[in-house]
Amino acid sequence: MTTAPDFHSPTDLRKHIQETMQFYHPRCIDPSGGFYHFYKDDGRVYDERSRHLVSSTRFVFTYAMAARHFGADEYLPQVRHGLAFLREAHRNPLTGGYAWLLDWRDGQGTVVDGSNHCYGLAFVLLAYSHALLAGVDEARGWIDETYDLMEKHFWQADFGLYADEASTDWTTLAPYRGQNANMHSVEALLAAYEATDDLRFLHRAERIAHNITVRQAALCDGLIWEHYHIDWSVDWDYNRDDASNIFRPWGYQPGHLTEWSKLLLLLERHAKQLRQPADWILPRAIALFDAGLDTAWDQQHGGICYGFAPDGAICDADKYHWVQAESMATAAVLAERTGEARFWLWYDKLWDYCWTHFVDHRHGAWFRILRGDNSACTDDKSPAGKVDYHNMGACYEAVNALRRWQSR
């Protein structure tokens, strides 16, 4: 294992981001369109044809961030390369929707799953927002287009939240309701606001955030359950036998509790522009972070377990990269916001764990998932959805928090 960097040094964290990016760039680029999505630990592509909307959009995010922080000449062409694939391959020009999964071969795509997911559109909105921030001016209109699509087909004004899934032709809305799509919609809406200064994005993010982390959480002892019925009553049984489902796992997700904490604090930074007083935000952010770490931190092996049941028992003891990364970033943001030393202690503890167990010091990037005892359980480093978007994004957020803290 290489010598650990100074986790309180923005320079060292930026170097780690670059090293992580180098695992993907340029091997991820498919000259015929888009990017390759599936990688073994050593960087070998093990599926050249499957193209998932979540990976396609997250690659745009990682390249846009790299273009802004490390050089547009090298990375901005790949932002445009990824945008072209979203517009020309994933997007259905007749319906405006985006295919969830494509089979891509010889420069041609076949739709494998054309259903529309709010979760997917949230990442489309995130990709366009970061593309605009990176200097792709035409993305401004695509931000409006995507937001209008989400509002038309998924927004439910009576509940103040987005629905989750619709058929390819938009005629049928699935009865499932979930918090995850709404959480990532808040992430995307905050990025859209920062890219455009359009207050409707900020106000929509504010409303969703309050409805999930306050109103819906009140139904679940102050925590955030993942799954709901069509009337947004809690569905305690959805995926009860599938605690490790990639997008809809059963159980409380400590990674989502801490991720919400981070998003609330990002929302609070715009307190003067919010419609309601922001005094509820910080207490909720602290409570969610504390609940996730107090319940799910593995005292024996370290790291945060994937999920816990309503009674507090761990229902999935595996360790996932994104849970550790998001929690690390949140600890830094909380530490900078509150000045409380305990959050810096959590930041250091999480980084030490991640550096020891999750960062691949041989091939680069982060391992995806480990067993509860931190042993490897797969050599698939990046299947659909990963692309180290969480890990690099968390490092960028930690850099921002450290710079604010050190400039005081």
- DSSP letter for 134, please: T
Q: Is 256 a catalytic residue?
A: yes
Do residues 177 and 230 touch, judged by C-beta distance below 8 A?
Answer: yes
Angle at 344 between CA 365 and CA 304, to 5 degrees: 55
Measured between alpha carbons, how far is 23 from 326 in angstroms, rounded to an integer?
20
Q: Residue 145's CB: how many other CB atoms inside 10 A?
A: 15
Do residues 168 and 147 touch, judged by C-beta distance below 8 A?
Answer: no
Closest CA to 188 of 102, 247, 130, 251: 130
User: Which of 25, 90, 256, 321 is labelled catalytic?
Assistant: 256
Q: Tokens at residue 364, please? A: 């680069």
Q: Tokens at residue 402, please? A: 């450290």
DSSP bridge pairs for 380? 40
Q: Is 390 a catalytic residue?
A: yes
Measured between alpha carbons, how far is 23 from 262 in angstroms, rounded to an integer?
27
Angle at 144 between CA 391 and CA 88, to 5 degrees: 70
- Helix ranges (H only) for 154-235 are 179-196, 199-210
Residues catalogued as catalytic: 256, 390
